[in-house]
A and B are shown apart, each in its own frame.
Chain A
Amino acid sequence: MVGAIEVSTEWYLVLSAVLFSIGTVGLLIRRNPLVMFMCVELMLNAVNITFVAMGTELNDVGGQIAVFFVLVVAAVEVVVGLALVVAINRRRDGATADDISVLRG
């Protein structure tokens, strides 16, 4: 093996942290609902990576199982969220997340 670099668990965790941070920042700074959605997906999948990595590290299948739950929740979220995005776009073309604040207290 030539200069083989061992991909240890820490790498995965760092990757996960980076992806999660990108998702968080994206969610906070972008206004397009669709992009915010993608950011949320990014955060969820960053967490999934952590689960899988730790599951392998600790030799515990529970990590993989948790990922299934997250996937299911994400799918549900996409269904509801995209429906909302479509509904919003029908009423107000090109609306950003900041334009929609009718639930203001």
Chain B
Amino acid sequence: MVEAVWLIPAFPLAGFVLLMLMGPKLGEPRAGWLATLAMGGSFVSSVVVYIGLLGEDAHDRQYVQTLFEWVPAGDFQVDIGFLVDPLSVTMTLFITGVGALIHLYSIGYMHGDPKFSKFFLYLNLFAFSMLMLVLGDNMLLTFLGWEGVGACSYFLIAFWFTDEANASAGKKAFVTNRIGDWGFMVAMFLMFTTIGSIQYTDIFANAAGISESTATAITILLLVGAAGKSAQIPLFVWLPDAMAGPTPVSALIHAATMVTSGVYLLTRMNGVIDVSAAWAPTTIAWVGAATALFAATIAVAQNDIKKVLAYSTVSQLGYMFLAIGTGAYVAAIFHMITHAFFKALLFLGSGSVIHGMDNDQDMRHYGGLRKLMPVTSITFIIGWLAIAGVPPFAGFWSKDEILAFAWEDNVALWAVGFITAILTAFYMSRQVFMTFFGRYRFADVRPEEVEELAATKVQAAENAVAEAEVGIGGAEEAVVKATEKLEKAQEKLVTRETEMADADASDEKAFDKATKNLDKAKDGVEKANVAAEEATAAVEAARDAVRTAQAQVANVAAASMGTGAIEFDLFNAPNIGEMTDDDLPEAARARREYHPHESPWQMTLPLVVLAGAAMVAGVMNLPFTSDLHFLDHWLEPTLVHPAHLTSSASVKWILAIVAVMGGAVGIAAAVAVYLRGRVPAAKIELPLLARGWRYDESISNFMGGPGRKSFDLVAWFDATFVDGAVNGVGRLVRDGGGQLRRLQSGLVRSYAAMVAIGAIALLVWFLSRANF
């Protein structure tokens, strides 16, 4: 049965190839069904392999299937082969299981997307890479999967790449991960030079013989690699930005599977960590603890529903690193699995909310969705209880185990983990309350809309003033023209009057003409007079218009001072002052007509299944008796030193009760702030936290300032010295050749002379050395 292991990655690979060949032709929704079917086949194969492995004795549960030689290079031999053991099978089970559900969900979520089939192509490629990562029987094959998932992560974060922000989020993830990959690669090189192989079976056999310093170096380098992929300090910056991708991607790649590969790698290498210096695992534990707390504090102040979950994921991954650092590998894997269930559930739930809320991701705009989205809200609440550590949901068991191990290792680690647990309960409750409870806020007028409205009104009034001022200018010009006309008419009148006086009374004809002309001139003067008066009146009117317009500006400014100050309020509808419905922005009016809707069954079915898993996954490793440590016994053969809790039962009970109380405190605090309004939320959601402790900005500032300068320096060194050396050698050869070519005269006799001189020189040399 275990021989079927090659089928596990083969299914998604086949799905990928088929979608590449005829994805657009299949179209929606058949392309999605094909991909989902491939994942389903992969899951069934995983179950078959799992059953096959269960049939073996505990210490025989290791099977290597070699497909073919990949890199035969002298001593360096790498095969394409699969290592089947409890650890890799555990990983494949939840990767393919959760993966299949998320594929199904995506059919609903990606409905109507123009790149529907391409999305599933990437998802299948990702699943294939992820399975190669966990099934590979050597570090290089794992690295292949490692890079494959990185590339797919990049493709999918930047899936809607026409938006600049999405494209750069993808780049950020890719570049940050390269730093981690460097650590992984150097660790791999070091491993090869130390034991001469990167095959896992060889590493297991020879790990104990590695010197302490080498093992420490490998451990720290692997930590660098794992910190990149699993978003730990200092390389976590990419994960919150990765939320730019479609939500199923966030659930599958950036919560359930890919980001746990760092944890997998460290667990796989537990034999090496075991022989490293004591400070190396301690470093891992503290990196994890620090990340857990740091990310949890940031999650408290995020308003984007997915950003909260992203920081939460970083925080939970920190727990897993904390577990690995304290030697509790099983606890890390246990939490990885339960986290995969409840975090995938939460992400898919948030996707369902976003889908139902017209792609709005701001939790301030939600509220009261419990009745509008019943399935989503109930499953989301189950996920919330699981992550908040409420017994008997899955997260309680796994987190509690990690905290117990931390307690035995170092009380300070436990304290950090405990504070993080309180914060986790708090920010997750905040999310649930803001989204599903309280007042329905979607139709509210938003502060930024009112501000924009006021700004447009002020702008319009100011435009009117400007126009009126132009009107004054025009009217004044008209006055000037009218006055000129009047003067001309008066001049004409004077000339006509003299003509009249000069005209001979006897010349009847001339007299008549003069009289007529005089009358005309008089008319002209009169008309010009009227025109001038009118023009003056127009100027007056224009001045009035300006005055009115200016008064209006003042009014609008005053009005916007009154209504523009509306603030986001969880509990009360915004006070829009004297504004009537007609004054409201169009978007706000449209939102009143919008009705949030529950998602289709393809989306809710995975939610229900995952909610079931999040409820009961704790039974994998119940702490009560040794017989109930199923996961412990199952994973034991893959660990060098399986860790066990040594504390007495009473200590464990107390720790568990304290943990539950911590969770309760977090939830109660969130109730007080977000349901009862006892404390204004602004006191907790500090701007510093909302900006992630300015970590991102500091990096940008450093890279833009001193970092940039040092890069320029390196570039200058490269251009001057490195390129100079290379070009110098080239120039030397060219110039030397230029000199030497003169010897090639084309004259046969001169060549012959050279040969002769050479021969004579040789002769002289030999004779001088000869002893006669």
Is there an interface contact between B752 and A101, defined as CB atoms closer than 8 Å?
Answer: no
* A27, B756: Cα distance in complex, Å: 10
Is there an interface contact between A97 and B753, defined as CB atoms closer than 8 Å?
Answer: no
Is there an interface contact between B752 and A103, defined as CB atoms closer than 8 Å?
Answer: no
Q: Verify if A105 is at the interface (C-beta below 8 Å from B).
A: yes
Q: Verify if B747 is at the interface (C-beta below 8 Å from A).
A: yes
In the complex, what's the smallest C-beta–C-beta distance from B750 to chain A, in angstroms? 9
- 6 A-B pairs besides A100-B746, A104-B744, A105-B741 with CB distance below 8 A are A28-B749, A28-B753, A28-B756, A31-B749, A101-B746, A104-B745
Q: Verify if A64 is at the interface (C-beta below 8 Å from B).
A: no
Secondary structure at the B interface, as helix, strand, loop or mixed, is: helix
Is there an interface contact between A98 and B749, defined as CB atoms closer than 8 Å?
Answer: yes
Is there an interface contact between B747 and A27, defined as CB atoms closer than 8 Å?
Answer: no
> Which of B741, B742, B744, B747 meets A98, CB within 8 Å?
B747
* A101, B748: Cα distance in complex, Å: 8
Most chain A CB inside 10 Å of its own CB: which residue of B752, B753, B756? B752
Give me the interface of B with A, judged by CB distance under 8 Å. Answer: 741-749, 752-753, 756
Provide 13 A-B residue pairs closer than 8 Å at the C-beta atoms, listed in order of the A residue: A24-B756, A27-B752, A28-B756, A31-B749, A36-B748, A97-B749, A98-B749, A101-B745, A101-B747, A104-B744, A104-B745, A105-B741, A105-B742
* A101, B747: Cα distance in complex, Å: 5
Q: Verify if A102 is at the interface (C-beta below 8 Å from B).
A: yes
Of all chain B residues, the one with the shortest Cβ separation from A96 is B749
Question: What's the interface size class on A, roughly?
Answer: 10 to 19
In the complex, what's the smallest C-beta–C-beta distance from B747 to chain A, in angstroms? 5
Give me the interface of A with B, judged by CB distance under 8 Å. Answer: 24, 27-28, 31, 36, 97-98, 100-105
Is there an interface contact between B746 and A102, defined as CB atoms closer than 8 Å?
Answer: yes
Most chain A CB inside 10 Å of its own CB: which residue of B741, B745, B748, B756? B748
In the complex, what's the smallest C-beta–C-beta distance from B444 to chain A, in angstroms? 88
In the complex, what's the smallest C-beta–C-beta distance from B766 to chain A, in angstroms? 15
* A103, B752: Cα distance in complex, Å: 15
Of all chain A residues, the one with the shortest Cβ separation from B753 is A28
Most chain B CB inside 10 Å of its own CB: which residue of A36, A98, A100? A98
Query: Which A residues are in CB contact (< 8 Å) with B742?
Result: 105
Query: Which A residues are in CB contact (< 8 Å) with B744?
Result: 103-105
In the complex, what's the smallest C-beta–C-beta distance from A97 to chain B, in angstroms? 5
Query: Which A residues are in CB contact (< 8 Å) with B749?
Result: 27-28, 31, 36, 97-98
* A31, B747: Cα distance in complex, Å: 10
In the complex, what's the smallest C-beta–C-beta distance from B575 to chain A, in angstroms? 94
* A100, B747: Cα distance in complex, Å: 7
Of all chain B residues, the one with the shortest Cβ separation from A25 is B756
* A104, B741: Cα distance in complex, Å: 8
Is there an interface contact between A105 and B756, defined as CB atoms closer than 8 Å?
Answer: no
* A101, B744: Cα distance in complex, Å: 9
Query: Which A residues are in CB contact (< 8 Å) with B746?
Result: 100-105
* A101, B746: Cα distance in complex, Å: 4
In the complex, what's the smallest C-beta–C-beta distance from A62 to chain B, in angstroms? 21
Is there an interface contact between A105 and B747, defined as CB atoms closer than 8 Å?
Answer: no
In the complex, what's the smallest C-beta–C-beta distance from B618 to chain A, in angstroms? 86
Of all chain A residues, the one with the shortest Cβ separation from B748 is A97
Of all chain A residues, the one with the shortest Cβ separation from B742 is A105
* A26, B109: Cα distance in complex, Å: 97
In the complex, what's the smallest C-beta–C-beta distance from A9 to chain B, in angstroms? 17
* A98, B753: Cα distance in complex, Å: 13
In the complex, what's the smallest C-beta–C-beta distance from A34 to chain B, in angstroms? 13
In the complex, what's the smallest C-beta–C-beta distance from B177 to chain A, in angstroms? 55
In the complex, what's the smallest C-beta–C-beta distance from B534 to chain A, in angstroms? 99
* A36, B749: Cα distance in complex, Å: 9
Across the A-B interface, give the 4 residue pairs with the lowest CB-CB distance, nearest first: A101-B746, A105-B744, A104-B746, A105-B741
